[in-house]
Structure 1
Amino acid sequence: MMKNNSIHAAPYVFRAEERILVDANVWLYLQPPVARPAPSWANRGYSRVFANLLAAGAVPVIDALILSEYLNRYVRIEYDACWKEGYAKFKDFRSSPAGVTVAENAVAEAEHILSFTGRLQDTMANEISLSDVFAEFKQGSIDFNDGILIENCRLRQWKFLTHDADIRVGGIDVLTLNKKLLGA
């Protein structure tokens, strides 16, 4: 796979109707769990980027993989920060009254995210080159879900807004504030 084109998200000028797939890690900065608010630099930085995206009339996009990662990570962050001592097993926490409350909060945040993005986008799994994703995954150069997201962006000609420093291959435009990714 080709290297990605890393673009600094802060000065980037969004275009009307431009589709931007927003990664779960960015959503966790924009809509963080109560137990772990986003660092101030991330909150300010990605909030500004997202405001610019909306002001320009660009379209934030979400798919099922990102929504899944957001919800699962949200609940795990809350568990690790506040509930791990009371519940030895994560699955026990998840089905407890506390876990149900955390999940309800996570879903409320996800519904807020969907108010910006509209409906979920299809991952176009039937058009994705799974052999390419498998090859990169076997070499350790990508996480499988990241490979699917990269392929989806490539096929749909979307840009990918992420803070994940591992997003280095795929031949797509990656918008980020991550200095490691910008230096790649």
Structure 2
Amino acid sequence: MSNCIYHIDDYKPLAEDKFFFDANIWLSIYGPIGYYADWRVRKYSNFLTILQLKNCYIYTNTIIISEFVNRFARMEFEQRRIQLDLEYDEFKRFREMEDFKEVASEIAANIRKIIRSSNLCNHEISDDELFDLADIYEKGGFDINDLMFEEICKQTDSILVTHDGDFKNSEIKVVTANNNMLRDN
């Protein structure tokens, strides 16, 4: 598959299309209120609704859920840290505080929404494929999870929905609202 990046407003999904949502998309849709600009929330939420109405397959996996949970909790920590008189390196202390129970409850509710909105795709990557990904990672400039997500999309013939500019030169089909990814394509 060659590099194909589509703007979310221009992509017309077909019922047989399969999509793999990146953690940043789930954060835009179900993340902490006020963190992302409203236009991203609207764009990605509307796209999710369109896909659901067309009965398209939407995939996620445990790595995506883990990224969502960890980033959501960190975002909440960053927003509350000063008010709670915590230092930058006291995230673990935050998780032990009473204030975190509310955050954890909100995260858990949103995990359930993601699970109801998607299909679990914990696709196995072989040892040989992991060796290949390690070789690519070793060259620098890559996130190992992004490399795995790209491989999963290739193997499942899924379209990645992401706002992550790291996928600008990817070898998979991408749908995004990130205009910077569309330049020079």
Distance 1:57 1:133 in 2: 32
The amino acid that maps onto 2:155 is L
SS at match of 2:167: coil
Distance 1:133 1:22 in 2: 20
- 1:114 matched to which residue of 2? 115
Whether 2:15 is the aligned partner of 1:16: answer yes
Equivalent pairs: percent with the same residue?
Answer: 28
Task: Supply the RMSD in Å over aligned alpha carbons.
Answer: 1.9
- 2:175 matched to which residue of 1? 175
Equivalent runs, 1:10-49 vs 2, <5 Å: 10-34=9-33, 36-49=34-47
Residue of structure 2 aligned with 1:58, choices 56, 59, 72: 56
| Offset, 1:127 | 6.8
- 2:147 matched to which residue of 1? 147
| Offset, 1:162 | 0.2
Distance 2:95 2:165 in 1: 30
> So what's the TM-score if we normalise by structure 2?
0.89
Q: Which runs of 5+ in 1 are unaligned?
A: none
SS at match of 1:175: strand
- Listed one character per residue, the Cα deviations across residues 108-165 of structure 1 (whole Å, up to 9, x for unaligned) are 11111111114x2113122771233212212223200000110011111111000000
The answer to whether the Cα contact below 8 Å between 2:2 and 2:173 also exists between their aligned partners in 1 is no
> So what's the TM-score if we normalise by structure 1?
0.89
- 2:92 matched to which residue of 1? 91
Distance 1:169 1:152 in 2: 16
- 1:129 matched to which residue of 2? 129
The amino acid that maps onto 1:148 is M
The amino acid that maps onto 1:76 is R
Question: Which is further off, 11-20 or 106-115?
Answer: 11-20
Q: Which runs of 5+ in 2 are unaligned?
A: none
Distance 2:168 2:127 in 1: 22
Number of equivalences: 181
The answer to whether the Cα contact below 8 Å between 1:25 and 1:164 also exists between their aligned partners in 2 is yes
Distance change (3 Å), C-alpha of 1:82 and 1:167 = same
SS at match of 1:160: strand
Distance 1:52 1:134 in 2: 36
Question: Which is further off, 154-163 or 140-149?
Answer: 140-149
Distance 2:167 2:127 in 1: 21
The answer to whether the Cα contact below 8 Å between 1:3 and 1:168 also exists between their aligned partners in 2 is no
